[in-house]
Structure 1
Amino acid sequence: MTRRAFAALALAGAALPADTARADAARRVRIAALDWSGAEALLALGVAPVAVADSAGYRRQFAHAPLPSSAADLGGRWQPNLELLASLKPDLLIVSSERGPDEALELRIAPRLAMSLHGTGLSPLAAAEAALRRVASAVRREAAAEAVIVEAARVFDGIAKSLAASIRPGLIVAVLEPDGRHVTVHAKGGLIGETMERCGIRNAWTRPTASIWGFSRIGIERLAEAPEARIVFVDQGPRTRRALRLLAASTLWQSLPQVAAGRVARIPDLFPFGGLPTAVRLARELDSIVARGVVHAG
């Protein structure tokens, strides 16, 4: 499936020492990412994609993996501009495993490497590691992938160790819905929930969820079921600002124990379907909240 990309890598590095050849070849291969977690993986490996779908959306949610200004914007992730994509002459496309309708057209442009972070039978973090290694193999950056994985484990273990001796209230990580009446809470089973568990950060929302992604949409009144928790909401920009305006006038929200006590904090926008670098960023942000106490969102 990645024969064309591998051929380009081999030709680019034919006359260079092995390690130098791999790094130089990886930089030369033209890779377009229709999948955000694929773009994140490439950048973590030191490879800049030539194009990304919805680059503005990517930049909002992946500040930890900045996209170079040279990357072309391919338009929507589910309806990319295939004419522009073809004109860029990529050697490889990184797509979501959930894509389908444009598969035949995309294959005429370049070989496809599908990112599989869900439905793999692996836990979210294990799936993220496997996906990173798969991308690394395609661009011959295996050593870089192992370095990213080792660093992630170091961060997770460090946070877990620092919290082991303390008793702290749990966190509820949520998205404030713009209707001002609902939130989406992250429970066990998704990347956010498993990252919290891996770092020893107690997830105060323990109710089961039917979602394979580990989150559920609930009424705000149900947050009172975990009265000692701290609420951490993901700031999604205009959607969140609208929610906050409505919640400021909501007696139900204001009467929640967490809100009344000022135990509400925000973290920057974050893609819940991201890869290992997303998990590391989340871990650091939640650790910072736990360590310093909660800053009232206002």
Structure 2
Amino acid sequence: MLKTISFKIRHALATIAFSIVTLSNAWAQHLVVDSEGEKTLSSVPKRVAALNWDLTEQVLELGVIPIAVPDIKGYQEWVVQPAIPDSVVDIGTRVEPNFALLRELKPDVILIASPQKDLEDKLVKIAPVLYYQTYSEDHDNAKAAIDNFQRIAQALGKKETAEQKLNVMQQRLKALNKQLANAYPEGKPDVTSFRFASTTSVYIYGDNSIPQYALQQLGFVNAMPQPSTQWGVTQKRITDLKQVGKGVALYFEPFDQQARLNRLAIWKNMPFVKQGHVTSVKASWSYGGAMSILYNAEALASALLELSEQP
């Protein structure tokens, strides 16, 4: 009788112990949220591979140095900031990463965006994959960039860093807005921003673009409004820029055909060119993460302040 009771007690204690261990393991799991919903990681990842430039930017802004990034040279030319440390390994292109090299690097997690979505089944065999879709015609891209910044921060254990960065950005945008109001005491001009595809066509930033959102935060209205698209750009012939009229035209660098452009009659006869209401904007990534909003705003503000000083 006593042996039976003793066995039951030991069995009950063993069951309780097992339950405690099970709960501890569950609590130790790291719950995260990406664009596909809630997922579970074994712990906060340390070795992070970011396979798209906007994700690279987001990770770096959180103070985390990724172990792997695609096309670093291209990033340095187009995205520019934040800078990628020399320790980061280049793993090929954004749509064709080097799977063997990525496997050798042993990431704890792989971050992907829409250009890598088709690769998810292969990538998940290397490490857990988190998918963040920032650019879509079905939502507000600027808001998505900020939301994903916060989600990535939570996944990497950097929530406080993200909040500090976002607060600083809002304060900086307000300061720039005020500075530009002082620079244009008679009222801020309408502004259109774009990139050259060539000397005959341009990509104009409209609704749902980061540059347009940045200009709105600075208190400007688009001189040539464009509909919302996935990336916030609409391709037009250069002749269509006449619609900017008396507004200001700002085009983003890099653009390696400036000398040829300056010789074209159609460009020289644009109203904004004749009036001196045009200038270039230093390279800032228009399809980036949350802090790209700030970098675009700072670059655009610098160009507008320069124009305001012209006689």
The TM tier, using the shorter chain, reads: 0.7 to 0.9
Please tell me whether the aligned partners of residues 194 and 251 of structure 2 are also in contact (alpha carbons under 8 angstroms).
yes
1:110 aligns with 2:127: yes
CA distance in 2, matches of 1:137, 1:278: 19
Other structure's SS at 1:175 match = strand
| Alignment counterpart, residue 177 of structure 1, candidates 197, 200, 214 | 197
CA distance in 1, matches of 2:212, 2:111: 26
1:229 aligns with 2:280: no
Please tell me whether the aligned partners of residues 193 and 252 of structure 2 are also in contact (alpha carbons under 8 angstroms).
yes
CA distance in 2, matches of 1:2, 1:58: 31
1:279 aligns with 2:296: no
Check 1:290–1:249 CA distance in 2 against 1; reply closer, same or farther (3 A cut).
Answer: closer
Instruction: Give the CA deviation at 1:170.
Output: 2.1
Q: Unaligned stretches of 5+ in structure 1?
A: 10-25
Instruction: Give the CA deviation at 1:7.
Output: 3.1
Residue type of the alignment partner of 1:61: W
Instruction: Give the CA deviation at 1:241.
Output: 1.5
1:241 aligns with 2:256: yes
Please tell me whether the aligned partners of residues 173 and 233 of structure 1 are also in contact (alpha carbons under 8 angstroms).
yes
Which shifted more, 119-128 or 220-229?
119-128
1:187 aligns with 206
Other structure's SS at 2:117 match = coil
1:124 aligns with 141
CA distance in 2, matches of 1:68, 1:5: 29
Instruction: Give the CA deviation at 1:190.
Output: 1.4
Please tell me whether the aligned partners of residues 136 and 231 of structure 2 are also in contact (alpha carbons under 8 angstroms).
no
Please tell me whether the aligned partners of residues 142 and 208 of structure 2 are also in contact (alpha carbons under 8 angstroms).
no
Please tell me whether the aligned partners of residues 94 and 116 of structure 2 are also in contact (alpha carbons under 8 angstroms).
no
1:62 aligns with 2:79: yes
| Alignment counterpart, residue 197 of structure 1, candidates 211, 216, 222 | 216
CA distance in 1, matches of 2:296, 2:95: 26
CA distance in 1, matches of 2:99, 2:269: 51
Other structure's SS at 2:285 match = coil
Instruction: Give the CA deviation at 1:99.
Output: 2.5
Other structure's SS at 1:266 match = strand
Please tell me whether the aligned partners of residues 152 and 276 of structure 1 are also in contact (alpha carbons under 8 angstroms).
no
CA distance in 2, matches of 1:159, 1:210: 25
Q: TM-score scaled to structure 2, two decimals? A: 0.80
1:154 aligns with 171
Residue type of the alignment partner of 2:128: P
Residue type of the alignment partner of 2:295: R
Please list, as runs of the form range in 1=range in 2, the aligned pairs for 1:59-98 lying within 5 A after superposition: 59-98=76-115
Instruction: Give the CA deviation at 1:34.
Output: 0.3
Instruction: Give the CA deviation at 1:205.
Output: 1.7
| Alignment counterpart, residue 42 of structure 1, candidates 41, 59, 76 | 59
Other structure's SS at 1:241 match = coil
Q: TM-score scaled to structure 1, two decimals? A: 0.84
| Alignment counterpart, residue 260 of structure 1, candidates 255, 274, 277 | 274
CA distance in 2, matches of 1:184, 1:200: 22
1:7 aligns with 2:48: no
Deviations 1:199-235 (A, max 9, x none): 21232122x3362322111121221112212221111
Aligned residues: 272
Check 1:120–1:79 CA distance in 2 against 1; reply closer, same or farther (3 A cut).
Answer: same
CA distance in 2, matches of 1:228, 1:159: 23
Please tell me whether the aligned partners of residues 137 and 229 of structure 2 are also in contact (alpha carbons under 8 angstroms).
no
Please tell me whether the aligned partners of residues 110 and 129 of structure 2 are also in contact (alpha carbons under 8 angstroms).
yes
CA distance in 1, matches of 2:159, 2:69: 22
Check 1:121–1:252 CA distance in 2 against 1; reply closer, same or farther (3 A cut).
Answer: closer
Check 1:90–1:48 CA distance in 2 against 1; reply closer, same or farther (3 A cut).
Answer: same
What percentage of residue pairs aligned between the two structures are identical? 24
Please tell me whether the aligned partners of residues 51 and 116 of structure 2 are also in contact (alpha carbons under 8 angstroms).
no
Please tell me whether the aligned partners of residues 284 and 292 of structure 2 are also in contact (alpha carbons under 8 angstroms).
yes
Residue type of the alignment partner of 2:245: P
Please list, as runs of the form range in 1=range in 2, the aligned pairs for 1:211-226 lying within 5 A after superposition: 211-226=229-244
CA distance in 2, matches of 1:59, 1:2: 33
